[in-house]
Structure 1
Amino acid sequence: MIKVINIEKSYGKNKIFSDFSLNIDEGEFVAIYGVSGCGKSTLLNCIGLLDQVDKGDIFIEGIKINNINSKEAVLNRRHKIGYMFQTYALIEEYSVFENLKLALEYKKNTKSEVHKKIDKVLEKLGILDKKYSIVYELSGGQQQKVSFARVLLQDPKIILADEPTGSLDKENKLNLLDLLKQENKKGKTIVVVSHDEEVKSYSSRVIKL
């Protein structure tokens, strides 16, 4: 499913990866952890087509994805890869509904279908009452849930999550991990970067960088 082959990545004089390789099989739930600055988020960004490696190759479903053009990268992120950002990556001046509607723009849905799909995921995440709230009015935990709702609406084959439980209390953290596990049981490949020990217990494999 995901093959990282002999990659190198540096920022200035700071070398993050040198001759690093990794295989992730389809349907795995992989937790990646390590000390701050070891390259966890960088690796996720390279797999998620948000950053480029300096050397080496990355394949998704047998297709080489590093150095593809921006249009192909957008199509891959739209159809194959759902990304939960540590910083949420929401438009703060928009409502929850307006943010989530963007995830459905490229799909052929009627106005009624858009509302039904968004209502369904918001209800699943316990924030249906925040549908028309402006994002900057929400707590960090609520924004993280909106970020996950966006991924669920996208319905990708691969879910990449960067510290997805960092802003959540114990109950909401376990609820989110349960939902990720449900998506994994549907056949989705999950890759989570986290410092959270409980994330490891949900994963099928743990990788330390």
Structure 2
Amino acid sequence: MLDADLEVITRLLPAPPATILDVPCGDGRLAHPLSAAGYEVTGIDISPENVEGQGPRFHQGDLRALPDLGRFDAVLSWGNSFGYTTPAETPATLDGFRRALKPGGRLILESLTVAEAFLTSPISEEASYTFGDITMAAVNRYNPAKSRLESDWTFTDADGHEERASGAHHVHTTGEVVRMLEDAGFTEIELKGADGRKSFALGDHRMIAIAS
């Protein structure tokens, strides 16, 4: 999965040694291999635990109010993070992405939950994922009145300790995504499907917006 993501991402990014802002960067899953490939990557994540010990280019911060770390050739927002911001917060988030770009820079924004992708197949009401020694069990439900996926998560470590959390992922149509990008000041916008080559089509499981 990681190698497949990196293949798509590097195809869409400008060539190394381009400067990249990875937000949210998580624990550096993408930032570290991109750095190894010759990119100058800066990472931002809201979780202090994710960026602690990752190096001087990793910073704790909120994508809804990005710290000013300079201007970049590309902003990468991968990992289906788009939609966790509320409709009221999203305009400022996208404006922050645009302001972080150099003139002519590009935003690469991935979403698995645009309506044309997410609602064309049955929703997994229960799912389980493993990340290293952490298992995450998710219970999902779609709220049609608010157009959002609501989830309860249980995280279990190797010793059996559990932590619980809840969250909501707002589901936008591709047309709404384009309009929000335009409102944020982006003028050239392409929507690609899962492989980053073909234009996005109804039923594709991933949408990648490329905006400049």
TM-score range, shorter chain: 0.3 to 0.5
Structure with the higher strand share, 1 or 2: 2
Higher relative contact order (CA 8 A, sep 6+): 1
Structure with the higher helix share, 1 or 2: 1
The TM-score, its normalising length taken from structure 1, stands at 0.36
The TM-score, its normalising length taken from structure 2, stands at 0.35
